[in-house]
Structure 1
C-alpha cells in the first residue's frame, strides 16, 4: 500500500510511535524513526536523534531524512509529553513544557516538512492527537488543552496546504495498551474494557493502521479530519 513511499515518524522509540513506524514499514514505506534520547530498536527502520523543540534541530532532522531516504512523502507527528498533574498544582512552566513538547514540535515539523513537500508534488502529514483533545480527564488539563490545540492546528494546516497537494489529518487514540499498564492502573483498565463498546484497550498497531490509511491513496480525498481510534469509547450512551 505504501511501497516506494518515504516516511518520518517523530517520537518513535516505543509505544504508539514504534507501532506506527512498524506498520508503515510493513506496508512498504521506508521509515525514518526520530527519537530524542533513547534510540528505537526496530530492525526495519532508520533512526535519527533530534530535540524537536529547537528549530535548528528540526531543520537538521528533515535534511538528514531527505539525505538518507531520498525523499519525504509522509510525516507522522507523534512526539509529545503526557504528565499527570492536578490543575491546582500546575505552574506556568509546567503548562509551557507540555505545549512545547506537543504543539510547538508539531508546528515546527509540519511547517518544515510541508515546505519540502510543496516542491515535490504533495504528501501526507498526520498528527497524533488524543480523545482528550475533545474529552478532558482529571489531572490532564495541560495535556488535553495541548491536544485540542493540535487538532485545530491540523485543520488550519490542511486549509493552507491543500492547494499544494498536501493532506493534513489527525488520529486521536483512546487508552492504548503498554507493558505494565494493568499493574500500574488496574481500575482504569477495568473501567475502559467494561465501558468501551469493543471491550478492550487499543494497541499501538491499531493506531499505526489508522496512520497507514491516512498516509495512503485510499484517503486521497480526505484532509483536515480527526480519525478517532478508541474502540467506541467516545460514543458510549449517555445512560
Structure 2
C-alpha cells in the first residue's frame, strides 16, 4: 500500500476493470488506499486476477458483473458497489467502453448504437445512480466521478466515427454533470488518453505504434498506470477544486503542430 494514501477510506467503483486501462486504474486506486469494486462484463477471470492483486496489496476488492449497455444493469452495479462499501460510494470511474473500427460507409444504425449505448448510455446511467448515493452520504454529500474519454473526442481517426462521437459526448456530459452536481459536492471530470500500450499491440499495429511514438514529445506509448495516476489525482483531495475539466494524458501528442 502507498504511504501517501491519497484515497484512504474511499470506496470506489471502476467499470471495465478486467484488464487494460481499467486494471491499471483499479490497482492505482487500491495502492492509494481505496476499497475497489471491479466491474466487468465478460472478463470475469481478468477481474478476479485484479481483485487478487488488490488483496495482495492489503486492500479490499469485489468483482461485479453487468452489461452496461442496459440501463437497469448500470443502476444495479452502482447499487451493489455501494452496498458492498457499507452504503457509501466516494468515487466512480466510468472506464468501460468499446472501440470497433468501421468505416461510415456501410455502418448501420445498429452498429452506431452498439458503440454509443455502451460508451455514452453507461456513463449517463452510472453517473446518475452514483450521484444519488453521493448526495446522501453520511456526514455530507460529495464524491468524484471520472469518465475515461479519449483524445479522439477532439482529434478524429478514420474508421472511428462512432467512437469519436461517443467520446466527445462523454466529455460534454462531464462538463454538464459538473455544473448540475457541483452544488452537492460532486465533482465530475474526464481523462482523455492517447495511445495506451497493451499486450500484442506492437505486433498487431506496428506502423501505428511507430507513428505515435514519433509524434509524442515524451517518446513512448502510454501505460495503464499513467491513466490510473490521472484518475487517482482527480478523485483525491488534491483536485478538490477541479471539476468539469478534461485532463489529456497523451505524452504531448495533442501539442504536436498539424502543419
Q: TM-score range by the shorter chain?
A: over 0.9
Q: In structure 1, what is the equivalent of residue 107 of structure 2?
A: 90
Verify: 1:139 aligned to 2:159, yes or no.
yes
What does 1:11-160 align with in structure 2 at a 5 Å threshold? Answer: 11-39=16-44, 40=47, 41-42=49-50, 43=52, 44=54, 45-70=61-86, 71-120=88-137, 121-160=141-180
Matched positions, count: 239
Q: Which runs of 5+ in 2 are unaligned?
A: 1-5, 55-60
Structure 1 Cα separation of the partners of residues 101 and 255 of structure 2:
24
Structure 2 Cα separation of the partners of residues 189 and 58 of structure 1:
34
Structure 1 Cα separation of the partners of residues 22 and 83 of structure 2:
22
Cα deviation, residue 34, structure 1: 0.2
Structure 2 Cα separation of the partners of residues 179 and 88 of structure 1:
31
Cα deviation, residue 237, structure 1: 2.4
* Alignment match of 2:246 (pick from 217, 226, 236): 226
Structure 1 Cα separation of the partners of residues 136 and 181 of structure 2:
12
Q: Give 4+ residue runs of structure 1 displaced > 6 Å after superposition.
A: none
Normalising by structure 2, we get a TM-score of 0.91
Cα deviation, residue 37, structure 1: 1.2
Structure 2 Cα separation of the partners of residues 166 and 102 of structure 1:
21
- Contact kept, 8 Å, 2:79 with 2:129, in 1: the verdict is no
* Alignment match of 2:207 (pick from 187, 209, 231): 187
Cα deviation, residue 56, structure 1: 2.2
Deviations 1:130-162 (A, max 9, x none): 000000001100000000011110100000000
Structure 1 Cα separation of the partners of residues 128 and 98 of structure 2:
20
Q: Which runs of 5+ in 1 are unaligned?
A: none
